[in-house]
Chains A and B, each alone.
Chain A
């Protein structure tokens, strides 16, 4: 055995793996994710604050997503109401439609649909933009000009996403309920005031809090995943495509997991 192999000045040692190569990569990736998140929480509190960039990103994420979110929310409200009616009609309980729509949309569909659409639209845009900036050395250019690219690019986008997704969720929920109302009004001739009386009667304060907390977590996840994938992308244009794609897939996957976990926690609180 050549013991000199690891001495300085000779050929570098072959990389050793603590476990298997694949498992090592997973641990390394997890450590990188942890460090990325930790860096966000470290940097978000301290100046300089990039207010201009945050407002710009809020516009990009919030305002520009409105048309797509509105259309989707409205259609979901109509379709969900339409599909729920036959089941309730079997029991002669179509009068419970507003309550059913309210619980389903406010507790689950509103936040989830908004987050999934935002993951597609916003997550991919952030992943692609930062990925492209990484491979064209724009992030390096910021760094060598003594500007903190993490603060300018990542903190601003994650904050904007965390702020805007709850706002979009509220809007989607409202639009979905309006879609549901139109369907109910057309079929059951329910008035707007009666519809919304039943809607708010069916939900609790906990539902609204849970929905808001969920959408904040979803917003943070979308922003963070998009930024992480884009900021750490490599391998040229291929890497940009991968960053955009994997931002969407990973964010959606995490959103479902979070939905499941938060639902369990809320149910436990409700039971308590």
Chain B
């Protein structure tokens, strides 16, 4: 997999997410030890790190599912920790969250899964308009034919795509991907990587991609940061991050990546 080409649409003057001094501990275990992070408009930022290093915790704090113990998390100009529930909900409509296990609603068809946020947040939308939008996002992820299927009838890759489609339906400004290629075969991983880049181009989103899959990181990341010991130790392009003598970085690369 080749490295991603330089993206000309990134606006380095506009930060959509800005995190300063973020700390988070679970009981005695301190996961994040003062994290600083900026995401620029139009950028795909990959957060790399081993399992259990707090990568998913980070995006859950960004989306308000968890709260940090210290520090500030500013998303689209609003401090997530200070928002009232109603304002947090309004902010969440601008954030798409693709879960590691897709988190599709088991008891609903694909159509109902996609209609679920629309019914609640686009109440003025007519039924035909809603149907057209559902078909549009399904077409964008290449799964128009799955509209009447139940999640249990879909493969892992298809579930991932539908999960992404469900987040896209509200046209978010920011996409958060939690381990988008985990548990998928290499061919499907490439398809998902291409989809992430396609979403960035087509929907003009800024994204944080949490992964420990270096192939994915190289294919989709405009910038890569590496989370080690609760802090971002390395930052830059994929090549810059791994141009290091740090044993932890090298062992991660050697174990994970096949060039």
Measured CB to CB, the residues of A under 8 A from B are 8-9, 11-12, 14-15, 48, 132-133, 136-138, 140-147
Contacts and interface: CB of A to CB of B under 8 A. Distances in A.
B93 interface: yes
B92 A146 contact: yes
B109 to A, nearest CB: 14
Contacts of A9: 34
A238 B137 CA distance: 36
B37 to A, nearest CB: 19
Contact of B103 (A8, A11, A141): A141
Interface in B88-104: 89-90, 92-93, 95, 97, 99-101, 103-104
Contacts of B93: 145-146
A146 B167 CA distance: 11
Contact of A138 (B70, B90, B106, B117): B106
* Chain B facing A: main interface SS: mixed
Range class of the B interface residue count: 20 to 34
Contacts, number: 66
B97 A144 contact: yes
B103 A146 contact: no
A137 B101 contact: yes
B97 A8 contact: no
Contacts of A142: 116
B225 to A, nearest CB: 21
A145 B116 contact: yes
A146 B30 contact: no
Contact of B101 (A48, A136, A145): A136
Contacts of A144: 63-65, 92, 95, 97
Given A132-B106, A141-B97, A145-B92, A15 B27 contact: yes
Contact of A48 (B92, B105, B120, B170): B120
5 contacts: A140-B103, A144-B63, A144-B97, A145-B116, A146-B89
A136 B103 contact: yes
A137 B103 contact: yes
B121 interface: yes
B28 A12 contact: yes
A145 B99 CA distance: 12
Nearest to B92: A146
A148 to B, nearest CB: 8
